[in-house]
Amino acid sequence: MELGVVDVLDNGLLVSEENQSEIQITNQAMMLIQQLIRKYHIELLDVSNIYDFNVDEEEILTFTDYFLEGIMKRKSVEEKLEMTKEKIEKSKLCIKKSMWSLRECKAILIEEIKRINEEKINLVETFLLINQEE
């Protein structure tokens, strides 16, 4: 699989074209979560008039960013592991094919050596017969 670099995230991960749609979906989900957090914050402001809650929107947004970043990093690691597994499987298959080819070559060479040895014996016998007749 050929990776085309489409985007470099602030944490240095390379993202392939295949993952671009997943990142867009994640970004949209993150924006939705941020909107919901803002709505929740507004609701908390309404409640805080009754109860004195101290909620810092920036802290919640920071936590959300770290949380989603962790999910993206884990997904990236899983994808890299899967790609590595596929490469290993392809390499194993290639090695098996090479071993099979080498076995075939070995069998052919053994047969050729037998043929040459038989030819050599025939030549020696012929030479001895010719020398005996003389």
Q: Which pLDDT does position 43 carry in this prediction?
A: 73
Answer yes or no: is pLDDT of 34 > 70.
Answer: yes
The rounded percent of the chain whose pLDDT value lies above 70 is: 75
For the chain, domain boundaries: 7-133
Q: Which residue has the higher pLDDT, 3 or 35?
A: 35
Distances (CA, A) of 63 to 37, 53, 58, 70: 11, 18, 8, 11
Distances (CA, A) of 113 to 106, 120, 127: 10, 10, 21
